[in-house]
Amino acid sequence: MTTFEYSPALESRSIVSIQPEYGHFINGVFVTGTNHFVTINPADEEVLSRVALGNADDIDRAVDAARIAFEATWSKMPGKERGKYLYRIARILQERAREFAVLESLDNGKPIRESRDIDVPLAAAHFFYHAGWADKLDYAGLGHAPRAHGVAGQIIPWNFPLLMLAWKIAPALAAGNTVVLKPAETTPLTALLFAQVCQQAELPPGVVNIVTGDGRTGAALVDHPGIDKVAFTGSTEVGKAIARAIAPTKKKATLELGGKGANIVFDDAPIDECVEGIVDGIFFNQGHVCCAGSRLLLQENIAAEVLEKLKIRMAKIRVGDPLDKNTDLGAINSRAQLNKIQTLSQAGESEGAERWSPDCSLPKKGFWYPPTIFTGVTQAHRIAREEIFGPVLSVLTFRTPQEGMEKANDSPYGLSAGIWSEKGSRILWAAQQLKAGVIWANTFNKFDPASPFGGYKESGWGREGGRHGLTAYLASAEENND
């Protein structure tokens, strides 16, 4: 097959200025930190900067600042005024969009096409959307005189660093909470740039605090007696540890954890569109997506045709420099994540599934994995049950629609699912059977701030986004007085 050779079309990195070292952002200013560690560009292992490893004292200072800001300023401010700050932040994110996109791609490894067209615009959209909520809380059926919880401790992962920050901070602030946020250890830089946006927007000091660090910093935040609510996105294992840690306390929590989304193709599906949806479902963001369509369930009589077309399409995926505008699949975020993908893929092979990847040359430096599919996968295989969180698709088949539903639901997770069929009645029937928080029909991986997102079973507690997500940051007046 002929493929066109594209000349590289590199996005310039001159728009970002990265400091050699960062401290934490507490009470509206950057303060020095200790025990700095490096954050690298996973595409070439270049050291980008050194960030501080937050300890219990840093968390304590940040929570104090957030508490004072909550009591003295933010909770007293009319919602309409809070909304103005959120609008201002949203507009600054748009104005500085290219800077954020380049920095995100450098620190995370994701293609600029995605950080530019998805992560950053959606992050701004979350602030716009929640800005509109800030002055309507009393009139929208959110309970009698809804009130903020107080200080929210927020912990985010590395797969969508700025977007997850927006998912956490925008609703918290709209509802009148103040926050202490801890970004992931491999991707702290856009959160630190966001701290500068808070300064630029003249957000009152202490409303947003950012403490960098690793799991120990996150645990210190969860354990701090001064926080009222925990919002976490990350692994199911850490989610369970957080649930245990807060069980004896009055802290509220939302947990957004792993997934093993079923992408289900019925034999009446439009095959060409569906192939695009399969690619989008698993290769978007290198498959580092909690709601990825990582289990493809094909109705048996069309399986061969779908797989043939999928392989032709996969051969056209361009893997390489995240800053090249032609790139579809960027770098794996860390060596640890690459090891996990390799281990699970190895398990797939040794348990009897068949691996296939197109011919593609991977860069020598950095962390890379080719787009991969496994066929002949059974329900018992590890690659059908465990979250791989990489560009690896497990393909299973089913004969009857009922069998398809049973296989789709046979998972400890229940975050997302996709249904491909031309029949509306079949789509509605399947959507009712599926135990998944988000279900897409004839599309995949579509996000909107107005739409609630979250899971069943081991995929977590609660919802983020939309009106449902907002309620997680609010309590009724009665509840707050207990």
- Given a contact cutoff of 8 angstroms between Cβ atoms, the answer to whether 167 and 465 are in contact is yes
| Interface with ligand NAI in residues 85-104 (CB under 6 A) | none
Selection from ligand NAI, Mg ion, none that 241 binds (CB < 5 to 8 A by kind) is: ligand NAI
CB of 305 to ligand NAI, least distance (A): 31
| 3-state DSSP assignment of residue 247 | coil
- Tokens representing residue 341 in the block: 């993908």
- Quick one: which segment of 134-142, 212-220, 308-316, 394-402 binds ligand NAI (CB under 6 A)? 212-220
Q: Which of 11, 64, 185, 280 binds ligand NAI (CB under 6 A)?
A: 185
| Interface with ligand NAI in residues 320-339 (CB under 6 A) | 337
- Tokens representing residue 293 in the block: 């369509």
| Interface with ligand NAI in residues 114-173 (CB under 6 A) | 155-159
Q: Which residue stretches of 232-299 are H helix?
A: 236-246, 271-283
204 or 215: whose CB is closer to ligand NAI?
Answer: 215
Cα separation of 315 and 3, whole Å? 9
Active site residue 300: no
> Using the rule CB under 6 A, is 257 a contact of ligand NAI?
yes
Closest CA to 335 of 38, 36, 43, 20: 43
First to last CA, the chain: 69
- Given a contact cutoff of 8 angstroms between Cβ atoms, the answer to whether 437 and 453 are in contact is yes
| DSSP code of residue 74 | I
Cα separation of 319 and 310, whole Å? 16
Cα separation of 461 and 438, whole Å? 13
Whole-number CA gyration radius for the chain: 22
- Given a contact cutoff of 8 angstroms between Cβ atoms, the answer to whether 462 and 454 are in contact is yes
Cα separation of 449 and 467, whole Å? 10
CB of 18 to Mg ion, least distance (A): 11
Which run of H or E residues covers position 302?
helix 300-314
338 or 395: whose CB is closer to Mg ion?
Answer: 338
> Using the rule CB under 5 A, is 159 a contact of Mg ion?
no
CB of 473 to Mg ion, least distance (A): 29
- Given a contact cutoff of 8 angstroms between Cβ atoms, the answer to whether 319 and 327 are in contact is yes
Q: Of 114, 256, 387, 458, which one is the catalytic site residue?
A: 256
Active site residue 354: no
> Using the rule CB under 6 A, is 214 a contact of ligand NAI?
yes
How many residues in the chain?
482
Q: Which of 205, 215, 358, 376 binds ligand NAI (CB under 6 A)?
A: 215
Q: Which of 28, 176, 206, 218 binds ligand NAI (CB under 6 A)?
A: 218
> Using the rule CB under 6 A, is 413 a contact of ligand NAI?
no
Q: Which of 52, 238, 331, 436 binds ligand NAI (CB under 6 A)?
A: 238
Q: Which of 258, 277, 454, 462 binds ligand NAI (CB under 6 A)?
A: 258
107 or 464: whose CB is closer to Mg ion?
Answer: 107
CB of 241 to Mg ion, least distance (A): 24
CB of 473 to ligand NAI, least distance (A): 19
Cα separation of 376 and 355, whole Å? 9
Q: Of 290, 291, 386, 464, which one is the catalytic site residue?
A: 290
CB burial of 374-398 (b: ≥16 within 10 Å; e: otherwise) equals bbebeeebbbbebbbbbbbbbbbbb
φ, ψ for residue 100, nearest 5 deg:
-65, -40
> Using the rule CB under 5 A, is 186 a contact of Mg ion?
yes
Cα separation of 224 and 181, whole Å? 13
> Using the rule CB under 6 A, is 233 a contact of ligand NAI?
yes
> Using the rule CB under 5 A, is 39 a contact of Mg ion?
yes
- Quick one: which segment of 92-100, 193-201, 231-239, 442-450 binds ligand NAI (CB under 6 A)? 231-239
Cα separation of 391 and 385, whole Å? 16
CB of 241 to ligand NAI, least distance (A): 5
Selection from ligand NAI, Mg ion, none that 234 binds (CB < 5 to 8 A by kind) is: ligand NAI
Q: Which of 93, 290, 314, 417 binds ligand NAI (CB under 6 A)?
A: 290
CB of 203 to ligand NAI, least distance (A): 23
Selection from Mg ion, ligand NAI, none that 39 binds (CB < 5 to 8 A by kind) is: Mg ion
Q: Which residue stretches of 79-119 are H helix?
A: 79-95, 97-108, 112-114
83 or 258: whose CB is closer to ligand NAI?
Answer: 258
- Tokens representing residue 387 in the block: 């979250």
- Quick one: which segment of 1-9, 230-238, 305-313, 462-470 binds ligand NAI (CB under 6 A)? 230-238
Contacts to Mg ion by CB under 5 A: 39, 107, 186
Which residues are known catalytic residues?
256, 290
